[in-house]
Amino acid sequence: MLDWTSYIGKVFTGDCMTLMAAMPDGCVDAVITDASFPSRADVGGGPGRFAGWMCVMPRITNLALVKWSVPGLVEIAGAVPVGWKWRHTLVWHKPMTHGRIWASSLYPHWEPVVILGINGKRNGARNASDFLSCVPCMKGMAEDVGHPTQMPERVARWLIEDWTQPSDLILDPFLGSGTLAVVAERLGRRWIGCEISPEYAEMATKRILRAREQLALPIEPQPAPGIFKHPTLDLDTEGVPG
Ligand SMILES: C[S@@+](CC[C@H](N)C(=O)[O-])C[C@H]1O[C@@H](n2cnc3c(N)ncnc32)[C@H](O)[C@@H]1O
């Protein structure tokens, strides 16, 4: 039998169904995830796969935050009969994608995050915000590590901070490049991540180790608060009029 506890703070390389099957009832405080779209068979998606995942999750947690595509909302609605209650819908607005036409239809410049809970069980947020505007992770950005559908760290921070407490255990069954794990560690949450592709699992592990090294570094001394000096204006040589 798989010892799931040995994967706390580590990446499980394999199918999330295998990991979740080994987890006992209610062992996870929240699932926060970004599943592969049904259209992305290249990264493990495919029609109908979502339904299988959603049937397993209510056994191990009371709370799931699922970031998915706008067309995927229909499949999320299909998860309600298996025990989930659709509690809230959050909007991640992606400013720089506005108006793109893709596959002859208007490409949505937002993605939904659906908050699913279990009837009769209270869990979740106080002071949560249901809207975040944040550019998607694109090639050449400092945080880009080369995953084709990498979630920005700011989106992960928004979800983790609003919906979990320090030391909570979070599961991301579709870890990809490890964004959820990296941000969870910085925010003092425990996590388990699962990734089916060995290539992405290795990418995530390296990224998490780098983040741990950075966390261990002493914080750079900040300049003492004082007069603001404009980077392009040297007040000593150019002087101040008057
Ligand atoms: C949308 S991506 C997640 C991206 C991630 N949030 C990030 O920031 O990099 C979904 C990931 O799920 C993985 N995946 C697909 N099916 C899976 C399965 N059955 N079990 C585990 N991982 C799976 C894919 O390989 C892909 O990397």
Is the Cβ atom of 37 under 6 angstroms away from ligand 1? no
pLDDT at 187 over 90: yes
The pLDDT of residue 119: 73
Q: Ligand 1, closest atom to CA 197?
A: 25
Q: How confident is the model at residue 238 (pLDDT cuts 50, 70, 90)?
A: very low
Closest CA to 67 of 94, 29, 104, 28: 94
pLDDT at 230 over 80: no
User: How close is the Cα of 40 to the center of ligand 1, in Å?
Assistant: 10
Is the Cβ atom of 137 under 6 angstroms away from ligand 1? no
What's the whole-number average pLDDT of the chain? Answer: 85
Is the Cβ atom of 4 under 6 angstroms away from ligand 1? no
Buried-state track 90-128, b at ≥16 Cβ within 10 A, e below 16? bebebeebeeeeeeeeeebbbbbbbbbbbeeeeebbeee
The pLDDT of residue 104: 59
- pLDDT tens profile 107-151: 788 999 999 998 766 666 778 899 999 999 988 999 999 999 999
Tokens of 88: 């809230």
Q: Which of 56, 192, 196 to mutate to test the pocket of ligand 1 (most atoms within 8 A of CB)?
A: 196
Cα separation, 140 vs 204, whole angstroms: 18
User: How close is the Cα of 168 to the center of ligand 1, in Å?
Assistant: 22
Is the Cβ atom of 174 under 6 angstroms away from ligand 1? yes
Check: CB of residue 156 under 8 Å from CB of residue 204: no
Q: Which domains are assigned to the chain?
A: 4-238 (3.40.50.150)
Percent of residues, the chain, with pLDDT higher than 90: 60
Q: Ligand 1, closest atom to CA 176?
A: 27
Length of the chain: 242
